[in-house]
Amino acid sequence: MTNIVPLNNQSHRDLRVMALVSDERNFVAVVAGEFPHLAPHYPIFFSKDSETGAFYCGAMLGFDEGENLFVAEGRNVYRPLNLQRGPFFVAGSDIAIDLDSPKVGSGELLFDESGAPSVYLKSIMALFRDLVPGMEQTRIFIEVLLGLKLIEPIDINLSFDDGTRRSLAGLYTINQEALRDLADADVLMLFRRGYLHLIYLMISSLAQVKFLAQRKNTALRAGLGLPR
């Protein structure tokens, strides 16, 4: 359940939020502007919204529901904006907060003694200045790729050190054959719009699946008491 209300410096003057609590999510929606920060750490895929069927971009943090293999990293690894925002949302031109979130109650103050936004709340406000327009920019990016038939499904099959296997479905990536076959005019358009760079960041990020599996195996071996 959620209890999302607009944030104000009267009702929420003494409210605190835990800023660095890691979400236990294995797949997080991301925006295109994050790709340069994400690609060195996370595989970036397309997926489809379960309700609307619309494509969105997401970073993979683990292989099982609720599994974030980067929790122990803290500040050492870039955290997607949708994790950084914590219990905050945008409601029109206002920032709202989910008062029922487990992150609410202790941690960073949202307002100072004069009722002005705290340093932490200012960082959240700045975050949304990137996230909100980034969502529209990413939607247009995906729309262009769909028009050029550059998105295709990808199946990922993995085996882990404890003998378990995972088959990951519902993920999509760049169709590299279709990319190679594009007309020169389309390639130039992608380059000029900055999309070619984003495309190759997505392709290069696929190498992170291997390293994510290594993280999983390290965690499994520690749990089984085996040498790492």
Any domain includes 136: yes
Quick one: tokens of 28?
């997080």
Would you state the pLDDT for residue 75?
61
227 part of a folded domain:
no
- Does this model's pTM top 0.85? My answer is yes
The answer to whether residue 189 is domain-embedded is yes
Give the pLDDT confidence score for residue 184 in this predicted structure: 98
**What are the average pLDDT values for consecutive 10-residue runs of the chain, which has 228 residues?**
89 88 86 98 97 97 91 78 93 90 90 93 95 97 99 94 90 98 98 98 97 91 57
Residue 226 belongs to a domain = no
Is 18 contained in some domain? yes
Spatial contact of 142 and 56, defined as CB atoms under 8 Å apart: yes
What's the total number of domains in the chain? 1
At 161-186, the pLDDT tens digits run: 888 998 999 999 999 999 999 999 99
Asked if residue 20 is part of any domain, the answer here is yes
Packing angle, helices 195-205 and 119-147, rounded to 10: 100
Domain that holds residue 83: 4-221
Q: Which two tokens stand for residue 213?
A: 């599996």
Residue 185 lies inside a defined structural domain of this protein: yes
